[in-house]
Chains A and B, each alone.
Chain A
């Protein structure tokens, strides 16, 4: 069925609205990050640098693959590795 004129006209407006929303959300999260962070100095980061805090610690490639196959969802993984200020 061909889309109605109303649907076609609404599509760019909805896309622009979604983009504006995504930009606002990204800025809000970045602002939250700056405000919420504890301003911890490098010499105070012994606990943050502990090996068990590393996202890769106890990480098994086989286990990760098993989860990806068994669940319909993908993505949302954490890629940040330097924020603990360990390097």
Chain B
């Protein structure tokens, strides 16, 4: 599918949102409220990767009956000529990813349950996930416990090769719990925990790593260019190999406070996994009421992480008796190495059209992110730019 057709479909999706409004308005007696979104975002970075992502989402809710249903669909058109691709003399590639999810929740009283499912598909990758959730209100809805369990299966292959011939399978199980606490008339605090267990192959089928002799490896500088790596490395490359199981633990806290003319939302996450990756992520959004129908916010996000315990900038390959000894586990994914990133950008929401309950909203966001790779080959930093425009419709 070409970019022009996808952009066209994003425009059509906005028209569909408008058509939905007229049908729903005819049924004035319904207590069901609707929210539909059409969104298109663009991503470009200094490593020659770009993506355009049109998406559609919808949510229907009946507060009196206690049910909520939601669904979303997005398309990622990714174009890449990153240094990893260039350094292995591979051609520039383009790929289209489709992702969709649906969910349903029913909470007639102080307890409820729900189910959700999602699927993501690329020419050489497919992922399917399903989950169940439960919700329990305490203290007259001043405390809400949400729990969830999910199972997912990923299958990665090589483009043009059937999965029956070559496939790397991964099973994912996760347990999550969060507790939303109403602290006062304007503040909520939500601690959340998640445990994810992964069993299977996580290597990228196309990722091959350069090897160096023991004497050269320590001298390869951070961010060494492709030409320098090629001049220093041993002949041949070795495929990435990662452990076949991984346990991930995440704990986070969300604090939301409504002031008289603004809302502050703070998120912090601590993360650790059995591969040795430890990270902290802080996310802050301060939404200012510029007018009754106009909101403006700065958004800030920072991520600091220690790499996995088998991470090495330059892996050593020792030749002995005609074979090459290499470390059992080896990774070339920079996101598994030590890094920090800082992102900042503005966002705005304009509420348009008639007043509640029928409202159109235009949401615009932009963000720049600087990432520093502290112990990686080929590049030592990346600038990434993100922009998004969304049209949202709320009606009854």
Residues of A within 8 A of B (CB): 26, 29-30, 32-34, 36-42, 44-45, 47-48, 50, 52-53, 55, 57-58, 60-63, 65-67, 69-87
A62-B182 contact in complex given A34-B143, A50-B258, A75-B174, C-beta closer than 8 Å: no
Q: Is A72 a contact of B254 with CB atoms below 8 Å?
A: no
* Bound CA–CA A55/B363 (angstroms): 15
Q: Which of B182, B196, B277, B386 contacts A83 (CB 8 A)?
A: B182
7 cross-chain CB contacts under 8 A = A55-B254, A58-B297, A69-B335, A70-B371, A73-B279, A73-B303, A82-B141
Q: Which of A33, A48, A83 contacts B186 (CB 8 A)?
A: A48
Q: Is A73 a contact of B281 with CB atoms below 8 Å?
A: yes
A-B residue pair count with CB separations less than 8 angstroms: 221
Q: Is A70 a contact of B369 with CB atoms below 8 Å?
A: yes
Q: Which of B53, B61, B112, B141 contacts A85 (CB 8 A)?
A: B141
Interface size range of chain B in the complex: 35 or more
* Bound CA–CA A57/B363 (angstroms): 10
Interface residues of B in 111-143 (CB under 8 A from A): 112, 133, 135, 137-143
| B-chain residues with CB within 8 Å of residue A26 when the two chains form the complex | 177
* Bound CA–CA A85/B110 (angstroms): 11
* Bound CA–CA A37/B196 (angstroms): 29
Q: Is A75 a contact of B271 with CB atoms below 8 Å?
A: yes
Kindly report which residue of chain B lies nearest to residue A71, judged by CB atoms.
Answer: B303
B168 on the A face (CB < 8 A):
no
Kindly report which residue of chain A lies nearest to residue B339, judged by CB atoms.
Answer: A72
A53-B335 contact in complex given A66-B384, A73-B250, A80-B178, C-beta closer than 8 Å: no
Q: Which of A30, A37, A63, A87 contacts B182 (CB 8 A)?
A: A37
